Amino acid sequence: MNNLFIIGIFLAFFLQFLLLSKKRKTRSDKILGIWMFVIGLHLFGYYIYNLGFWEKYPHLIGVTHPIPLLHGPLLYLYVVFSLRKDQQIHFKDYAHFMPAVAAYLYMIPFFFFYSAEEKILVNHGQINDYYAFGMISLAAFVVSGVTYSILSYRLIGRYEKLIHENFSFDEKINLNWLRYCIWGLALIFVTVGIFSLIQYVFGSQLPFNPDFIYYSETILFIFFLGYFGIRHEGIFSETKVSPSQIIDLETESKQTGEYTKSGLKAEEAALLQQKLMQLMVEKNFIWRPN
């Protein structure tokens, strides 16, 4: 099992390196790279915990506790910037990380004012100062992951509907990659929710450690992410073509010649392009400066 953790940690950091070392990085590449770093850090934290390092170095206890609150927002922002032409990060984008920041702020007394012995007792449940916080955090982890997965899926659905209703050249716009990310993350958080419900609501003891299930799914998710990421041209290639860049009707029609076979006159095609661009602006899929 330890070897599997090592491979997962290495792969997460390796994918982060590939993404952040690209010469022509998009905002979505950077977000995915940061997400890979966060996943690698999360796995590394559990790996050293499983090796008993928290008993040897109690001040490490709780350092990675709020990290699961980052996965949902990073997935959502990855989807948003993969679809949105406005690549600037705004204040509302940072607001998605406020729950994780709030969790770290709440844990400041634990980090700086608890002794090593007290931290060990808290970790073993012999001091209940943070028991309620732990339960609330667990619920927040599950709700955050599932909620952001739903929001991301709905965003893709809105985008595809708009494209399919107004374009006839959407062969290049393949959003299955984003769906794979959403399904993978949602599966992990649903598993956490089911086992947590069994343990803490129904009070049943599981015959195995559910943590190994959660983190095994996470490692498999990284393998999955790496496999499809490497073979998917839009992630690691230097010739990335994002959906927002394919919205140029005139360029696409010149490249494919599709509208030369459709019977559309040049004036009609131009009028359709103008209407569609206006619609995309109104739906916030394309940003234009005032």
- Look up the CATH number of the domain holding residue 25: 1.20.1070
Within this chain, do residues 98 and 22 fall inside the same structural domain, yes or no? yes
Number of structural domains in the chain: 2
253 and 122 together in one domain: no
Same domain, 200 and 135: yes
Structural contact between residues 266 and 148, judged by C-beta atoms closer than 8 angstroms = no
Both 130 and 264 in one domain: the answer is no
Could you give the residue ranges of the DSSP H alpha helices within 21-129? 27-50, 53-56, 68-83, 91-94, 98-106, 108-113, 116-123
Is the confidence at residue 261, as pLDDT, over 50?
no
pLDDT band at 285 (very low <50, low <70, confident <90, very high): low
Q: How many CB atoms lie within 10 A of CB 126?
A: 9
Dihedral sign (CA 89, 91, 94, 95)? negative
77-86, 246-255, 258-267: which is most confident: 77-86
pLDDT per position as a tens digit, 41-90: 999 998 998 888 998 999 999 999 999 999 999 999 988 888 777 778 88
Q: What is the pLDDT of residues 112-138, one digit of tens each?
A: 999 999 999 998 889 889 989 999 998
Q: How far apart are CA 232 and CA 169, in angstroms?
A: 20
Give the range of the structural domain holding residue 63, as residue numbers without chain letter: 2-239
Average pLDDT, rounded, for the chain: 78
